[in-house]
Chain A
Amino acid sequence: MARRGRGFWAQLAFTVLVAAFLIVPVAMSITAGITANFFQGVKSGLTTRWIAEVWRLYRDTIFLSMTIALATLVVDLAIGVPAAYVLARWRGWLPRLVEEALVLPIAIPGLATALALILAYGTWREFRTSWVFILVGHVLFTLPFMVRAVLAVLSSIDLPTLEEGARSLGASFRQRFFGVVLPNVRAGILAGALMVVTLSIGEFNMTWMLHTPLTKTLPVGLADSYASMRLEIGSAYTVMFFFMIIPLLIGIQLAARPRKPATLRDEAA
């Protein structure tokens, strides 16, 4: 049993301090977003004026971000899930090499990918100025996360035995893939999907380079408002961003929660 000595309280204080470091600015920006004049403080009155202002100026960015996030998700699902299955099922040097390449989105800064995309396709005008250009960047960035989320589940469920079981019962490849494989990796797909949407909505490093004045996403708009608008508008905009990602974050938490083991066998363990 935990004896709550001095060590406990010291660590608790430290942890609370860290949490405060992370949450105080969030609280401040929420306050600023609904305060008439942040410099004078809350006593200047509360207002929804800044939120309305943001909606007028930047609502396109919100819709574009949602569109791109969903499109990214669709593409990632269509490519990522089968890709993960192939990686999990086939042994050899090539799948291993591809797995190795899956760390790339962390290793290669988004800025570099953006540069490469611009250098490769920047002269193709219709493509460059369409939001599909950003979509390509986002897919490049998020696809490995989807593959890895699915792969992680696939490699934990002894896929070959499951499939052999299904084959022994006479299931065709199609029936096995949709009837056995997919239901069993549902958790991985869900986790990957939430991850992909969250990453896409928040992606800035690459999108800042890829965007055009007509294809601004939410984070691009945020940067824009921080640089050129008053603090209250930036704050109000940030608050809207928070409300967009909170459901995603809660979803990720729920998806990551391990299922309770069915039995409570081990005494006093």
Chain B
Amino acid sequence: MARLVAVAAGGPAGLAAYGVIVTEPRYLRSLVSTVVLAAVVTALTLVIATIAGVFLQRNRFPGRSVLVAMLTFPLAFPGVVVGFMVIMLAGRQGLIGDLTRLVTGERLVFAYSMAGLLTGYLYFSIPRVILTVMAAAEKLDPRLEEAARSLGASSWQVVRDVIVPGLRPAFLSAGAICFATAMGAFGTAFTLATEIEVLPMTIYTEFTLRANIVVAAALSIILGGITWLALALARTAAGSSVAASA
């Protein structure tokens, strides 16, 4: 697989293609906005999934398993379906539009903007990360919390000093995978494609519409490089196999 990508890079213009990416503002802008978007999605997902995941792991109440099932159902949705879900929520006939029209008289439609893309990325990231967080929270030693409490720690201090450090490896691995998936997500962007320039869309456009194969290949390699770097960094920081919990 790696060899094939290398073949792709060895095109006629070779290394010059990389120069184009840095100098051509359109490519650079696409690259930067993709990285920023992926980073924001990762941060938001971690916060949301941690609150929900730890809560679900800690508490037993009627309806809990239904909630877990609901939260993990979208796990297997391809990007296109996720895009369609965003259209259902925030598209021209979407629920949010209906609700905002009732309240303000204006239809709020953001499915086809960066906000829509962010929504879509959150949509497919949350289930994965919740599963990882729940698995990690289950493995936390309850004695550690009891020890902290016996030493006088308040519940907030227990969260800060025991739970969050205990979940750190899960945060790193789930975060890295979340970031990598968001960087390379194509289906969602494709379905919502109107005003959005993210890297996978740029690659697709260059390849199919402009037949600019060399730039497409170079962009792919940069994309792969960034995601690989994110995974490798998280792996080093966690000191164990990130991939194992993908």
B227 near A106: Cβ-Cβ < 8 Å: yes
* CB-nearest residue of chain A to B204: A111
Q: Is A2 in contact with B52, judged by CB distance below 8 angstroms?
A: no
Cβ of B196 < 8 Å from any Cβ of A?
no
Q: Is A116 an interface residue (CB 8 A)?
A: yes
Assess whether B243 is in contact with A103, with CB atoms less than 8 Å apart.
Answer: yes
Q: Are A15 and B95 in contact (CB under 8 A)?
A: no
- Residues in A whose Cβ lies below 8 Å from that of B5: 108, 112-113, 115-116
Q: Check B76–A115 contact: CB distance below 8 A.
A: no
Enumerate chain B residues within 8 angstroms of A111, measured Cβ to Cβ. Answer: 184, 186, 200, 203-204, 220, 223
Asked if B231 lies at the interface with its beta carbon under 8 angstroms from chain A, I say yes
Tell me whether B166 is interfacial, beta carbon within 8 Å.
Answer: no
A103-B80 in contact given A22-B70, A22-B73, A110-B184 (Cβ < 8 Å): no
Q: Contacts of B227 on A, CB cut-off 8 Å?
A: 106-109
**Residue A104, interface by CB 8 Å:** yes
Interfacial chain B residues near A23, Cβ < 8 Å: 70, 73
Give the size category of A's interface with B.
Answer: 35 or more
For B67, give its contact among A19, A219, A249 (CB under 8 Å): A19
Query: From residue B171, how far is it (CB to closest CB) to chain A in Å?
Result: 17
Specify which of A8, A101, A198, A238 is in contact with B84 (CB 8 Å cutoff): A238
> Closest CB of chain B to A90's CB: distance in Å?
18
Tell whether B86 is near chain A: CB-to-CB under 8 Å. Answer: yes
Partner of B78, one of A29, A119, A202: A202
Contact partners of A203 in chain B: CB under 8 A: 78
Contact B78 A14 (CB under 8 A): no
Residues on the A chain within 8 Å of B86, using CB: 25
Known: A107-B228, A117-B4. A112 touches B221 (CB 8 A): yes
Give the distance in Å from the alpha carbon of A231 to the alpha carbon of B94 in the complex: 11
Q: Whose C-beta in chain A lies nearest to the C-beta of B11? A: A119
Pairwise interchain contact A245-B76, C-beta atoms closer than 8 A: yes
Chain B residues with CB under 8 Å of A222's CB are 78, 80-81, 84
Q: Which residues of chain B from 42 to 60 have a CB within 8 Å of any chain A CB?
A: 48, 51-52, 55-56, 58-60
Asked if A205 meets B95 with Cβ closer than 8 Å, knowing A119-B8, A148-B244, the reply is no
- Residues on the A chain within 8 Å of B220, using CB: 109, 111-112, 115-116
| A249-B55 in contact (CB<8A) | no
**A93 interface residue per 8 A CB criterion:** no
Contact of A204 among B80, B122, B123, B242 (CB under 8 A): B80
- Chain A nearest CB from B173 CB (Å) reads 11
**Cβ–Cβ < 8 Å partners of B204 in chain A:** 111, 209
Q: Does B7 contact A (CB under 8 A)?
A: yes
A106 contacts B180, C-beta separation under 8 Å: yes
Chain A contact surface mostly: helix
B177-222 interface (Cβ within 8 A of A): 177, 180-181, 183-187, 190-191, 200, 203-204, 207, 213, 216-217, 220-221
**Which of B56, B85, B200 has a CB less than 8 Å from the CB of A15?**
B56
Answer whether A24 and B89 are a contact pair too, CB < 8 Å, given A111-B204, A204-B187: yes
Q: Which of B137-180 contact A (CB under 8 A)?
A: 155, 177, 180
B186 touches A110 (CB 8 A): yes
User: Across the interface, do B52 and A120 meet the contact criterion of CB distance under 8 Å?
Assistant: no
Residue of B nearest to A101 (CB): B2
B87: chain A residues at CB < 8 Å are: 226
Taking a contact as CB atoms under 8 Å apart, the answer to whether B223 and A109 are in contact is yes
B39 at interface by CB-CB < 8 Å: no
B116 within 8 A of A: no
Are B7 and A18 in contact (CB-based, < 8 A)? no
Q: Does B1 contact A (CB under 8 A)?
A: yes
Query: What residues of B have a CB within 8 angstroms of the CB of A104 in the complex?
Result: 1-2
Q: Which residues of A contact B180 (CB under 8 A)?
A: 106-107
Is A79 engaged at the interface, CB distance under 8 Å to the other chain? no
User: Which residues on B sit within 8 Å (CB–CB) of A22?
Assistant: 70-71, 73-74, 123, 126-127
Q: Is B8 a contact of A115 with CB atoms below 8 Å?
A: yes
A105 to chain B: closest residue by CB: B1
16 A/B residue pairs, CB under 8 Å, sorted by A: A11-B52, A15-B52, A22-B73, A22-B127, A25-B89, A28-B88, A28-B95, A106-B227, A108-B228, A110-B184, A120-B4, A140-B1, A204-B80, A205-B186, A226-B83, A238-B81
Extra inter-chain contacts (16) besides given A11-B51, A116-B217, A117-B4, CB under 8 Å: A2-B58, A2-B59, A15-B67, A21-B122, A22-B74, A23-B70, A23-B73, A25-B85, A103-B242, A107-B224, A108-B228, A205-B185, A209-B207, A219-B187, A238-B84, A249-B72
